[in-house]
Amino acid sequence: MAAADAPPGGSGLPRQVLRPWQDPQPRQRDALTAERITAAGIQIAGQHGISAVTIRRLAASMGHATMAVYRHVSSRDELLLLMMDRALGSPPGLHPGEPWQAGLRRWAAGLFGRYLAHPWLLDAPVPGMPVTPHHAMWVEHALAITSHTGLTTGQRLEAALLIDGHLRTLATLARPARCASRSATGPRRPAHRRRPAALPPLQECPGNRRTARRHRPRHHLRARRHHLRPGQPR
């Protein structure tokens, strides 16, 4: 299903599932739209985590009443779906004639980059099947890339989900970590009573640069190729 092909209006799907497929509202200066609300939600999630995203807090950050936001998004669940779809964006383009290994590596690197750019995606609820346009596009591209592997559609889908889960694990390991070399100022509390300070980005920790390189997806995909090579020795 292409991103431009919206599910039929009479499909009976919940409103929060249908909403991401609808055409964005026309932009008006200073107008409150679902597009602006989604962008504000992504900003809050990026700064404070996805648990901090509430309709009340979002409305306050935009200078509007809570009920004004509810005119554009019916619930927090709908807002999260809109945020997740925008944060995922479009997958890398398909290259006809490219070996499936190279195409799948580009696909994985692109998805890994989205998880690093928006770490809160790792804390968002994961739908069982793709229900938003960009999510569907990522799955469709993975199926297209592996279409000549000899696997069934179900097996290719399982492989894509397997790689996605592996990328989520790698991105979780690469999330901001405390630098051991940074010491907090002020009196020290006992270790069991100490509260964690703000965590700097992983790249700012000199000792973690090597760790970040080890967690790049291309090194781990080689170990997963046997799932896509039926009949060949592992």
Tell me, yes or no, whether 9 lies in a domain: no
Cα of first residue to Cα of last residue in the chain, in angstroms, is 34
Tell me what pLDDT residue 85 has: 95
Tell me, yes or no, whether 109 lies in a domain: yes
Residue type, 139: V
Q: Is the pLDDT of residue 210 over 50?
A: no
- 18 or 114, which is more confident: 114
Q: What is the dihedral of CA 96, 224, 163, 123, to 10 degrees?
A: -150
> Picking from 7-21, 64-78, 191-205, which range would have the lowest pLDDT averaged per residue?
191-205
Tell me what pLDDT residue 198 has: 40
Tokens encoding 61: 């950050």
Q: Is the pLDDT of residue 16 over 80?
A: no
Residue ranges making up the domain that contains 217: 89-175+205-221
Q: Is the pLDDT of residue 222 over 60?
A: no
Mean model confidence pLDDT for the chain: 76
Average pLDDT estimate for 155-169 = 94
CA–CA distance from 212 to each of 108, 179, 198, 215 (Å)? 16, 14, 19, 5
Tell me what pLDDT residue 185 has: 37
Cα distance between residue 88 and residue 179, in whole Å = 29
Residues 54 and 113 in one domain: no
Work out the pLDDT band at 180, boundaries 50, 70, 90.
very low
Residues with Cβ within 8 Å of residue 118, at least 6 apart in sequence = 42, 45, 46, 87
Q: Is the pLDDT of residue 178 over 90?
A: no
Residues 149 and 37 in one domain: no
Residues 144 and 215 in one domain: yes
> Picking from 5-14, 81-90, 129-138, 193-202, which range would have the lowest pLDDT averaged per residue?
193-202
Residues 134 and 24 in one domain: no
Tell me what pLDDT residue 175 has: 83
Please give the DSSP secondary-structure letter assigned to residue 1.
-
Residues 29 and 79 in one domain: yes
pTM above 0.75, yes or no: no
Query: How many domains does one find in the chain?
Result: 2
Q: Is the pLDDT of residue 36 over 60?
A: yes
User: Tell me: the pLDDT tens digits for 38-66?
Assistant: 999 999 999 999 999 999 999 999 999 99
Tell me, what CATH number does 63's domain have?
1.10.10.60
Average pLDDT estimate for 213-234 = 51
